[in-house]
Amino acid sequence: MKVLDHVSMLLRKKGTETFSVPSDASVFSALELMAEKRIGALLVVDEGRLVGIVSERDYARKVILSGKTSKETFVHEIMSSNPRTISCDTSVDEAMRIMTDSRFRHLPVIDSEGRIAGVLSIGDVVNWIVSSQDEAIAHLEHYIAGDLSH
């Protein structure tokens, strides 16, 4: 992977669409949206401000295992408040380190104006790194083949 690979490059390839719910939404409605969009987490946004993130893992651990019901539990009861964020110019390597060290599977990206620019999943980062490594290997193979033919 190139040292200059920043999160903004990954978001350009992946896309910047994000999905969110307000903190007073029911957990059930959040789960419906996650299932519909085939995603594992949602941003929690109140009055245009990122206040948390809620994931399928939060549901499993804080609703099911606690004997609560998803229709009677609100997102603010189970979300991770004040989530860690990164900027668009954070390196992909740094994003991976943060996610690995902190055991996050989803990491919101904030632009220079404080707006949500996207969300990275651990899968997005791993796919980017694998793709970058494949590209580097192909370049090396072409370089070696070029050298050997001279």
**Which range is least confidently modeled, 25-39, 86-100, 136-150?**
136-150
Q: What is the pTM of this model?
A: 0.82
Q: What rounded mean pLDDT belongs to the chain?
A: 89
With vertex at residue 54, the alpha carbon angle to CA 49 and CA 88, rounded to the nearest 5 degrees, is: 55
Task: Kindly state the percentage of the chain with pLDDT values over 90.
Answer: 71
State how far Cα 140 lies from the chain centre: 31
Asked if pLDDT for residue 150 goes beyond 50, the answer is no
Q: Quickly state the pLDDT bin for 143 (edges 50, 70, 90).
A: confident
**Which range is least confidently modeled, 49-53, 123-127, 143-147?**
143-147
The domain ranges of the chain are: 7-148
Q: How many whole angstroms separate alpha carbon 74 and alpha carbon 72?
A: 7
Q: How many whole angstroms separate alpha carbon 129 and alpha carbon 92?
A: 8
Instruction: Give the pLDDT confidence score for residue 2 in this predicted structure.
Output: 47
Asked if pLDDT for residue 3 goes beyond 60, the answer is no
Q: Which CATH superfamily is domain 7-148 in?
A: CBS-domain (3.10.580.10)
92-108 average pLDDT score: 93
Indicate the residue type of 38.
Answer: R
